[in-house]
Amino acid sequence: MVPVAFLKKIMKVCCQMSDPDLDRLLQALDTERTGKVPLSHFISWMFRTFEDKIEEWTTDDELKNFSAVLPPGTEKLTLSFVCPDKFTDTALSHIGAGLPGTLQKLALAFEFSWTECKITCGGFAKLAEGLPKGLTSLDLIVRNDELPDKALESLADKLPSTLTRVMLSFKDNAEFTDKGLCALIASFPATLLELILNVDANPQLTDTTLQAFASWLSSSGSGLQKLYLISNSSKYTQNGLKELCSALPSMKELRLEFQSSEAEPDLGSQFVVSPDNLITFMGSGSAS
């Protein structure tokens, strides 16, 4: 255990922090309120990664320093903001403007609460504008924000053509419609090998989305090796689901989660696995 007063002297020399910020930090480390901090806690804090530091930021002003914190030549960046409710469009603008062109892999998660999100499609567009042109892997989770069609369309306009892996999650977003999602699907590059798309809990989506997905698979998605598609909507029909399944190429990993009231109970039985472990949709005759 190390006395808090002693740690404050050390940190004042090593860290460019004001006295009030130091006091708040030391109070957080001193969970037992004993005036002493376990040395292991202090060491863990001192040796945080630059990603750990950024994830602690909760305001637009803190994100002004976003680009300055990133090491030169950064190729991989993973950030999960679990309490971003104070972020506005300005915060997303800082992130978009600060993403280095050297990035190959980017994963961003924004877990907004139900009522406090202050992000609009304008801020989302600024984030999309900053996506590096040579990106090969993109994970983007925007939870509980009511993104309209225009937001998805802005992402579609800026999606890098070099992507081989995409994971997009807009779970619990009931604002966008077929229009925005179809634009996004059409923008997926033919280079994709892995695609994970979670638009669960959006009741507005119809067969139009399934048809757009089938069209992309037929024209550009033949190289896909892994697909996870989660989209529970009561508006999907059996014809729409079959059209999508019929367009699927043989692939190594497949997860389709639909809970439409019209889905056939035996739809899963219409897929077969080959000796080389490729999954293929054979239609209603495959069960026999």
Q: What is the CATH number of the domain that holds 84?
A: 3.80.10.10
Q: Are residues 13 and 100 in the same domain?
A: no
Q: Extract the residue ranges of the chain whose pLDDT is less than 70.
A: 10-18, 21-22, 24-26, 28-31, 39-50, 114-116, 144-145, 260-265, 284-288
Q: Are residues 175 and 261 in the same domain?
A: yes
Q: Are residues 141 and 194 in the same domain?
A: yes
pLDDT of residue 176: 95
pLDDT of residue 47: 46
pLDDT of residue 123: 94
pTM of the model: 0.81
Q: Are residues 34 and 94 in the same domain?
A: no
Q: Are residues 195 and 219 in the same domain?
A: yes
pLDDT of residue 23: 74
Query: What is the domain range of residue 8?
Result: 1-47
What is the number of domains present in the chain? 2
- Please say whether the beta carbons of 246 and 283 come within 8 A: yes
Q: Are residues 139 and 156 in the same domain?
A: yes
Q: Among 29, 47, 65, where does a domain finish? A: 47
pLDDT of residue 286: 45
pLDDT of residue 287: 42
191-228 pLDDT tens trace: 999 999 999 989 999 999 999 999 999 999 999 999 99
- Please say whether the beta carbons of 155 and 124 come within 8 A: yes
Q: Are residues 29 and 140 in the same domain?
A: no
Q: Are residues 129 and 262 in the same domain?
A: yes
Q: Are residues 104 and 174 in the same domain?
A: yes
134-165 pLDDT tens trace: 999 999 999 866 889 999 999 999 999 999 99
Q: Are residues 157 and 14 in the same domain?
A: no
Q: Are residues 27 and 77 in the same domain?
A: no
pLDDT of residue 22: 66
Q: Are residues 129 and 205 in the same domain?
A: yes
